[in-house]
Structure formats: C-alpha cells, structure tokens
C-alpha cells in the first residue's frame, strides 16, 4: 500500500499587510525614488500584488497622507495650544505678540526637526493635500487656533503659516545639503567672490554647523518682522 505524503501543517506562507507596515515601507521607498513613487513600486517592495494594497489603502494620495500624519506626530504644537487658551489674558499688544513669537518659535523648531529627519519626503509632502490626513489637519488646527488667539486676522493667519513653512521646509532640506554646495570648484577663477566666501565658510565650520547658523539667522529675522507686524495690527 502506497503511503500518502504527510499533509503540510498550517496555512501557506504569505505576506501579512497592515497600514503601519505599508506606511513604513512607503516612507523608505519615497526616500529612494522621491516623486517617482508609485503604488506598483510599493506593492513590489512589499512582495504583494497591487490589488492587495487596495484592501488596506484607497489610493496613492492616502498613502502620502498617512506619511504626512507620521511626520506631523513629531511636531510639537503645545505652545500654540496653550496660547489659544491664555491669549485673552494678555492685555497689551506687545505681550500678545511676544507670546505668539515664543509659541511659534517652539513650533518652528520642532517642525524642522521632524522634516530634517527624512528630507527626501519634503518635496512630495509639501504638495500633498491634507484632506485625508487627520493628524496633519489637527496640527494645523492647533496652529490656526493659536495664531487667531494671538490676534492675527483670519485673512492673514494662513498666509503667515505659509510664510513660515516655506522657510522651515527649505531649512530642513538645507540641513541635508552637501558641505561644499556653494564651492565653485574648477570655476573658482571665474567666480572669485564665491570661491572666497566658500573658503571662509570652510575655515569657520560647514555642514550641520553652517545649516544651523543659517536657520537661526533666518528664523530670527522672520519672527522679528512678523512680531512687529502683529504688534501693529493689535495696536
């Protein structure tokens, strides 16, 4: 009598998907391909058919929105949340403007840290709508409440957020830039000013130190100007 082969135990091995794994893998892929990211690439990286992805996420935009939410979780808005509750008690225009500046600076520094940790996603996320990103929307909701409580008019509040974000996103990218990005190299004789300036930077410290100094100069300049403008508005 021929003996039957033993039956395999358990279910066949297969890739187990969940939203957290999809988002983590998408972030890794986005670091590599940037704006060329596609759902087909993501499915291949995960070892599944594209149709399997859509059992967990509805679209590429939803994946990008979830990545945006991941980044937003690392941004501290607590100072602006506190300002939204306490601003009415700050009576003078100068007090309210100064309180806004402190809270906005705390948010700004946290914002840059969150994006600088993964600079390759900046260009994509900066153009991703937030309609499917509740955590990102919560961040902006808190920021908006703080700005309005400080006294920014409704017509200007988001414009000020955009002004700050343009600088903050650029600063996050700058933190990852090569140290010799301004070095004219073999063209130094044609561009002597740039060669001299780059040489000075190289002697005084470049890389992360230079990016940090540039960030401090820019943040102080922007916040000082906005604080003065808010004081005039409140006055």
For residue 57 the two structure tokens come to: 């996420």
Q: Within 10 Å of residue 37's Cβ, how many Cβ atoms?
A: 20
| pLDDT score of 35 | 77
Q: Is the residue at 7 inside a domain?
A: no
- Contact between residue 49 and residue 43 where contact means Cβ atoms under 8 Å apart: yes
CA 62 to each of CA 39, 56, 65, 103, 129: distance values in angstroms, whole numbers, following the listed order: 11, 10, 5, 31, 10
Q: Is the residue at 1 inside a domain?
A: no
| In a shared domain, residues 220 and 119 | yes
Most confident of 76-90, 136-150, 199-213: 136-150
| In a shared domain, residues 51 and 94 | no
CATH number at residue 201: 1.10.357.10
10 versus 75: the higher-pLDDT residue is: 75
| pLDDT score of 175 | 87
- pLDDT digit string (tens) for 151-210? 999 999 999 999 999 999 999 999 888 888 889 999 999 999 999 998 888 887 767 788
| In a shared domain, residues 169 and 222 | yes
Q: What percent of the chain has pLDDT over 90?
A: 61
Q: Is the residue at 46 inside a domain?
A: yes
| In a shared domain, residues 96 and 164 | yes
- Contact between residue 106 and residue 173 where contact means Cβ atoms under 8 Å apart: no
Please give the residue range of the domain that contains residue 38. 19-58
| Domain count along the chain | 2
Q: What is the mean pLDDT of residues 95-122?
A: 93
In the three-class reduction of DSSP (H, G, I as helix; E, B as strand; rest coil), residue 224 is classed as helix
For residue 58 the two structure tokens come to: 């509805």
| pLDDT score of 73 | 93
- Contact between residue 21 and residue 27 where contact means Cβ atoms under 8 Å apart: no
Taking 90 as the threshold, does the pLDDT of residue 104 lie above it? yes
Output DSSP code: residue 192. Answer: H
| In a shared domain, residues 140 and 25 | no
Measured distance CA(11)–CA(122) in Å, rounded: 41
| In a shared domain, residues 27 and 115 | no
| In a shared domain, residues 114 and 53 | no
Half-sphere exposure (CA, 13 Å, Cβ side) for 187?
6
| In a shared domain, residues 24 and 118 | no
CATH number at residue 38: 1.10.10
Q: pLDDT grade, residue 2 (50/70/90)?
A: low
- Contact between residue 124 and residue 65 where contact means Cβ atoms under 8 Å apart: no
Length of the chain: 235
| In a shared domain, residues 51 and 136 | no
- Contact between residue 17 and residue 46 where contact means Cβ atoms under 8 Å apart: yes
Q: Is the residue at 94 inside a domain?
A: yes
Output DSSP code: residue 118. Answer: S
Lowest mean pLDDT among 30-44, 98-112, 194-208: 194-208
Q: Which of 58, 86, 108 is the last residue of a domain?
A: 58
| In a shared domain, residues 155 and 190 | yes
Q: Is the residue at 91 inside a domain?
A: yes
| In a shared domain, residues 109 and 167 | yes
- Contact between residue 219 and residue 105 where contact means Cβ atoms under 8 Å apart: yes
Q: Is the residue at 63 inside a domain?
A: no
Q: Is the residue at 139 inside a domain?
A: yes
Measured distance CA(71)–CA(108) in Å, rounded: 14
| In a shared domain, residues 82 and 194 | yes
Q: Is the residue at 4 inside a domain?
A: no
């Amino acid at each position: 009598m021929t003996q039957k082969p033993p039956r395999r135990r358990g279910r066949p091995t297969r890739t187990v998907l969940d939203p957290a794994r999809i988002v983590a893998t998408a972030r890794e892929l986005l670091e590599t391909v940037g704006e060329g990211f596609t759902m087909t690439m993501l499915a291949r990286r995960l070892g599944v058919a594209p149709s399997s992805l859509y059992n967990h996420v509805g679209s590429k935009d939803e994946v990008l929105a979830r990545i945006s939410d991941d980044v937003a979780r690392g941004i501290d808005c607590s100072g602006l949340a506190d300002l939204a509750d306490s601003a009415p008690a700050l009576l003078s225009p100068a007090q309210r403007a100064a309180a806004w500046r402190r809270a906005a600076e705390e948010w700004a520094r946290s914002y840059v840290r969150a994006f600088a940790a993964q600079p390759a996603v900046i260009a994509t996320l900066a153009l991703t709508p937030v309609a499917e990103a509740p955590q990102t929307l919560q961040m902006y909701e808190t920021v908006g409440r703080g700005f309005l409580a400080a006294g920014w008019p409704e017509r200007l509040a988001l414009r000020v957020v955009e002004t700050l974000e343009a600088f903050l996103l650029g600063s996050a990218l700058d933190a990852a830039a090569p140290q010799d990005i301004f070095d004219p190299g073999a063209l130094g004789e044609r561009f002597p000013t740039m060669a001299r300036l780059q040489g000075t930077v190289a002697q005084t410290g470049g890389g992360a130190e230079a990016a940090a100094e540039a960030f401090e100069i820019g943040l102080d300049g922007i916040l000082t100007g906005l604080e003065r403008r808010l004081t005039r508005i409140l006055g």
